[in-house]
Chain A
Amino acid sequence: MAELLRAIEVSKRFPGVLALDRVSFELRAGEVHALVGENGAGKSTLVNIFAGSLHPDGGTIELEGRPVQIRSPHHAQELGIRAVFQHLSLVPALSVAENIFLGRELTTPGLLRKPAMQARSVAQLGLFDAGISPTAKVRDLTVPQRYLVEIAKATLERPKVLILDEPTASLTDRETRVLYDLVRELRGQGVGVIWITHRLEELYEIADRVTVMRDGRHVATLSVHETTTDRLITLMTGREYEQIYPVLQPVPESAAVVLAVRGLTTAHGLRGVHLRLRAGEILGVGGLIGSGKGFLGRALVGLEPITAGEIELFGERIPLDRISPHTLLERGLMYFPADRRHEGLFTNRPVLENMTIAALEQFQRAGGILDKRRERRILTEYIRRLAIVPPNPDARVRNLSGGNQQKVALARGMIRTTRVFVLDEPTQGIDVGAKIAVYELLHELARQGAAVLFITSDMLELLHVCHRVAVMFQGELVAIMRHEEVSEERLLQYYFGHTREEVGRTGVDAA
């Protein structure tokens, strides 16, 4: 196969950090080349150079054997390099077809050929079989649908190189399938695809080769079939696979039930969910996107309208009309949303304020004046314990990495002496090193007697981090199993609704 795109010894320096250190990379026509590595490894910098958003400080880029200088994103597009990033470039107020053709509208002299553009859009979207109307406004689409429109836009004129930055992060299972099909089709037409991902399972589905980066350097390029997940994780992190998941401590026999949910039903999303959570226990909740597992966390603090059911916390039944983040927090349950940046953190405020915001009562002296010295002292201790980088209570949270942001969010619950942690996708979008820190933190919390409801899309976390695992399917909790009973095969069966089991039989009371 021909070399389509090459980076030869490319370097890029940002103030104080060498983001790329003489990295070489090659993409062949008709291959899907995965790019993996922890956050900060340099993946984004590299593809941003290909996409024309950044300029290298050293090294050469070659396109089809000829050296090129990619001057701007516009220039990259002219060269046939298209990139789809997490931040979408769609105009919400315009229709799907208008977005796809934005800037290259089809016209008869001066007038827009709307029917033609809509027809082309249908053909383009037909690839995805996603039921998106070309005349629908983008603002009315779901996030996964928008992503597909973005890809339709990028592939309208068949590019030579297509760069996808964590394409499946916001897609549901169904859309992931159609994306795979599309990418395979493009590959068949000779397009070279760079696929950045954090989900190593994906590689075996879609990628031909994989390049691992670490700390701005090229570590290895391997054929996907010659490698294993364990090997890749070791290459990415410099750690062995077994070192990632901490040893699970058993829940004491005498541990009391702290949270009991009975028949929880919401207007949309949940149907009759039963579960019980004990002190010191980590209960994982898995399921496909759309299975309702995300609704479970939100419903517990009243963010979804509850239509029926009971929530009992520390033996006290909470009236349905009183359920709110505030009342549950007062009773020791805190919810940590999946969308940290938009729902969880005050990104333009300092670390200190983010961490103590829910516990200010503890730092009040007579007359309501805050004891800032004590606040700072206690906080500095948490920052050290959690190894938050930078270890500066005054740093703005927006300047922290995703992993450190998650630690700040969790610390908010710890400072308040929370007894029940409800976490929605706490490790999404953070690198392996930070994930390990989160796992250790959760285990530490459990050892101290906190109960953790751990909602996650990462099957490995269900397998390795949780005392018990519950699976949601179409809004129902269809199975609960103990750690020893969990296997990937069983999880998948429940994920796709192949088997149903009386929930009570294997789990609720047994664990």
Chain B
Amino acid sequence: MSTPRELATGRYVALGRLRWLRGVIDQLGLLPVLLIGLLLFFSIASPNFFTRTNLSTILTQALFLIIVSVAQTLVLLTGGFDLSMGSSIALVSIVVGLQLLDHPDAPLTGLVIATLAAIAVATGIGALNGLFVSVFRVPPFIVTLAMMTAVSGLALKVSRGVPVFGLPGYFSGTLYTGKVLGIPVPWFVMVLVLLVMYLLLHWTRFGRYWYAIGSNAEAARLSGIAVRFYLFLAYAIAGVLVGVTGLLLTARVGSGEPTLGASFPLESIAAAVLGGVSIRGGEGNIFGAALGAVFLVMLRNGMDIIGISTYTQLIITGALLVAAVIIDNWVHRER
């Protein structure tokens, strides 16, 4: 009488044997394995790789990409993506630079205004993206491509194509080399971002709804979820994170740059996909994406050290991205 049930259970147990392997890949991608492999390879290939200085350089470089990748993951989870993050960072950088020039001698006022401006600009851009995607139902690719173009133009127009130099010293002194609780400020912010986003995605309704929308928007609507609102919110919150990145990055380079962050949109998508975030939405998590970002930066750093030319590096990175998508397909294929 219960034979069909036994059969079904039998099938499930059988899958169980392969499940742990697929489960690991499902959660993090092949990344932990690849990352260790990469570490070993470069450590053997060059004595200059596995040093305290170099590893700290890698992590400092990776930090900005990590935050953007987390933002990108949020949007990817809902089944979209955001190409405008790079030009958004550029505009933030210019606006922050111009604001700071008005407050050369008032560190507190300058920092508060710069921070608010950065977040306002990038959140505004994210919110506009969200509005077009959710209310007007324009495909994310089109919306964010158009936004990327327009915002990039705006950044160049506002700055007249030249960087904003002469930022007050307190800016980088606080937001790049400054420390909170003994930790450099950018690090502190990154950890905070990871923590808050983890809570939001895995311990609140918001996260459940985003995953649900990315998995099946129609089913989400029938489950009573205000799909359009949550879609909008995802793009807007991603905007907040992009604003934070723009601010920190400007502090790092020490000037307002009209082309800052241009490589971030594609690199963040690559990092997320490498980290097991599905480009179809509804699958993956921010830690995978963060690890993906570390992987990409480490790969570039290691190739630099062993003397692979920049052009060859691009080819290798491109090939790796395709490989990552193939792996993504393999893990997520329907049985």
| Residues on A facing B (Cβ under 8 Å) | 14-17, 38-40, 214-216, 238-239, 301, 325-326, 329-330, 334-335, 337, 342-349, 353, 356-358, 360-361, 364, 368-370, 372, 387, 389-390, 392, 395, 398-399, 401, 404, 412, 431, 433
B204 close to A (CB within 8 Å): yes
The interface residues of chain A lying within 8 Å CB-to-CB of B59 are: none
B1 close to A (CB within 8 Å): yes
The reply to whether A17 and B14 contact each other, CB–CB distance below 8 Å, is: yes
The reply to whether B205 and A370 contact each other, CB–CB distance below 8 Å, is: yes
The reply to whether A399 and B12 contact each other, CB–CB distance below 8 Å, is: yes
Residue interface bits B176-217, CB-to-A below 8 A is 1, else 0:
000000000000000000000001000111001101100110
The reply to whether A344 and B219 contact each other, CB–CB distance below 8 Å, is: yes
The reply to whether B3 and A215 contact each other, CB–CB distance below 8 Å, is: yes
Residue interface bits B35-68, CB-to-A below 8 A is 1, else 0:
0000000000000000000000000000000000
Partner of B208 from the list A335, A343, A357 (CB cut-off 8 Å) is: A357
The reply to whether B224 and A348 contact each other, CB–CB distance below 8 Å, is: no
Partner of B211 from the list A349, A364, A387 (CB cut-off 8 Å) is: A349
The reply to whether B219 and A326 contact each other, CB–CB distance below 8 Å, is: no
The reply to whether A342 and B11 contact each other, CB–CB distance below 8 Å, is: no
B8's nearest neighbour on chain A, judged by CB, is A389
- Given contacts A348-B283, A401-B8, is CB(A353)–CB(B223) below 8 Å? no
The interface residues of chain B lying within 8 Å CB-to-CB of A15 are: 14-15, 17-18
> Which residue of A16, A216, A345 has the most chain B CB atoms within 10 A of its CB atom?
A16
- Given contacts A17-B11, A17-B14, A360-B205, is CB(A346)–CB(B224) below 8 Å? no
B108 close to A (CB within 8 Å): no
| Residues on B facing A (Cβ under 8 Å) | 1, 3-5, 7-15, 17-18, 199, 203-205, 208-209, 211-212, 215-216, 218-226, 278, 282-283, 332, 334-335
The interface residues of chain B lying within 8 Å CB-to-CB of A358 are: 223-225
The reply to whether A346 and B5 contact each other, CB–CB distance below 8 Å, is: no
The reply to whether A16 and B222 contact each other, CB–CB distance below 8 Å, is: no
The interface residues of chain A lying within 8 Å CB-to-CB of B226 are: 326
The reply to whether A368 and B3 contact each other, CB–CB distance below 8 Å, is: no
The reply to whether A389 and B5 contact each other, CB–CB distance below 8 Å, is: yes
6 closest A-B pairs by CB: A16-B14, A329-B224, A346-B215, A15-B14, A358-B223, A390-B12
* Distance in angstroms between the alpha carbons of A102 and B225 in the assembled complex: 43
The interface residues of chain A lying within 8 Å CB-to-CB of B222 are: 301, 325, 335, 337, 343-344
Partner of A346 from the list B3, B219, B278, B335 (CB cut-off 8 Å) is: B219
The interface residues of chain A lying within 8 Å CB-to-CB of B223 are: 325, 329, 357-358, 412
Shortest Cβ gap from A117 to chain B (Å): 34
Partner of A17 from the list B10, B205, B208, B278 (CB cut-off 8 Å) is: B10
* Distance in angstroms between the alpha carbons of A344 and B15 in the assembled complex: 25
* Distance in angstroms between the alpha carbons of A368 and B282 in the assembled complex: 21
* Distance in angstroms between the alpha carbons of A351 and B332 in the assembled complex: 17
The reply to whether A14 and B203 contact each other, CB–CB distance below 8 Å, is: no
The reply to whether A368 and B4 contact each other, CB–CB distance below 8 Å, is: no
Shortest Cβ gap from B223 to chain A (Å): 4
A432's nearest neighbour on chain B, judged by CB, is B4
The reply to whether A14 and B208 contact each other, CB–CB distance below 8 Å, is: no
* Distance in angstroms between the alpha carbons of A343 and B10 in the assembled complex: 29
The reply to whether B1 and A238 contact each other, CB–CB distance below 8 Å, is: yes
Partner of A343 from the list B11, B203, B219 (CB cut-off 8 Å) is: B219
The reply to whether A347 and B8 contact each other, CB–CB distance below 8 Å, is: no
The reply to whether A342 and B335 contact each other, CB–CB distance below 8 Å, is: no
The interface residues of chain A lying within 8 Å CB-to-CB of B7 are: 17, 40, 215-216
Partner of A372 from the list B9, B203, B215 (CB cut-off 8 Å) is: B203
* Distance in angstroms between the alpha carbons of A364 and B225 in the assembled complex: 16
* Distance in angstroms between the alpha carbons of A358 and B8 in the assembled complex: 28
The reply to whether B204 and A370 contact each other, CB–CB distance below 8 Å, is: yes
* Distance in angstroms between the alpha carbons of A9 and B321 in the assembled complex: 48
Shortest Cβ gap from B237 to chain A (Å): 14
- Given contacts A14-B11, A346-B282, A349-B212, is CB(A326)–CB(B224) below 8 Å? yes
